[in-house]
Amino acid sequence: MSRCDFKIVLLGSEHVGKTSLVIRFVNCRFNASTPYQNTIGAAFCAKTICVNGKPFNVGIWDTAGSERYEAMTRMYYRGAHAAIICYDPCCLESWTRLRHWLQELRTVEEECKVYLCGTKKDLIDSDEVRREVPEDIVNTYSQGLHGHCLTSSKTGENVEELFQKIVEDCVADINVMKDVKELRVQLQKEDEKKRVYCFC
Ligand SMILES: Nc1nc2c(ncn2[C@@H]2O[C@H](COP(=O)(O)OP(=O)(O)O)[C@@H](O)[C@H]2O)c(=O)[nH]1
Ligand SMILES: [Mg+2]
């Protein structure tokens, strides 16, 4: 059995830090000296996360964020159990664009759990840059969603916690877990079938 139990998609404008967030979570590293690389279309990776001692295989889709790939990006929303919509608190434009990503997502996956993620927390904490998105606006906006957090892919702050919360929320959702159980049964049957054919 190899398919993912949960699908998480990352959305947000270019340069907000989506790829860095995934790399920090999956590979536990951050490299600021690497020249910026635009994600083309989307990139996929997976990681196992344990909740109540049980392992869950989580598939993460990191999308491009560029308008050039927008039609393509829609394909990746399909079947997503959760979406992390990233914005950079020091870039007002990335926040304004957030509504667009939310609308896009809702037209394809109405039931998808949505988490807002303000990135590059280390820069805000060090006062290196000026915060452009007021905290109270973010708090008001995120009330109707599943969560909001500020992360730093540089230090790793809140990154693990964000993904852990998402998976815990999925595990607590009866409808999501019904699908997970059905898929696991189906995959087990397929595996058994394959084994029978091997003996022939
Ligand atoms: N200081 C700092 N820089 C970050 C952080 N996350 C991303 N960056 C930088 O922001 C730029 C864009 O990051 P990237 O992950 O490629 O953005 P994407 O286009 O949304 O995938 C890169 O130069 C990263 O090094 C962070 O948490 N802290
Ligand atoms: Mg990227």
Query: Tens of pLDDT along 151-175?
Result: 999 999 999 999 999 999 999 999 9
Q: How many domains does the chain have?
A: 1
Q: Which ligand is closest to the CA of 13, given by its number?
A: 1
Q: Does residue 34's CB lie within 6 angstroms of at least one atom of ligand 1?
A: no
CA–CA distance, 28 with 154 (Å, rounded to integer): 10
Top pLDDT among 11 and 127 is at: 11
Using a 6 Å cutoff on CB, does residue 14 contact ligand 1?
yes
Q: Is 1 within the bounds of a domain?
A: no
Domain that holds residue 22: 6-173
Does residue 61 sit within a domain?
A: yes
- pLDDT at position 191 is 82
* pLDDT at residue 3, as a whole number: 81
How many Å separate Cα 15 from the centre of its chain? 15
Q: Is 144 inside any structural domain? A: yes
User: 115: domain CATH number?
Assistant: 3.40.50.300
Q: Report the pLDDT value the prediction gives residue 49, as an integer from 0 to 100.
A: 96
| Residue 67 in this model has a pLDDT that exceeds 80 | no
Mutate to test the pocket of ligand 1, among 13, 20, 87 (most ligand atoms within 8 A of CB): 20
Q: What is the pLDDT of residues 115-162, one digit of tens each?
A: 999 999 999 999 889 999 999 999 999 998 999 999 999 999 999 999
Give the residue whose CA is nearest to atom 10 of ligand 1.
Answer: 17
Q: Decide if 58 is inside a domain.
A: yes
Question: Residue whose CA is closest, atom 6 of ligand 1?
Answer: 17
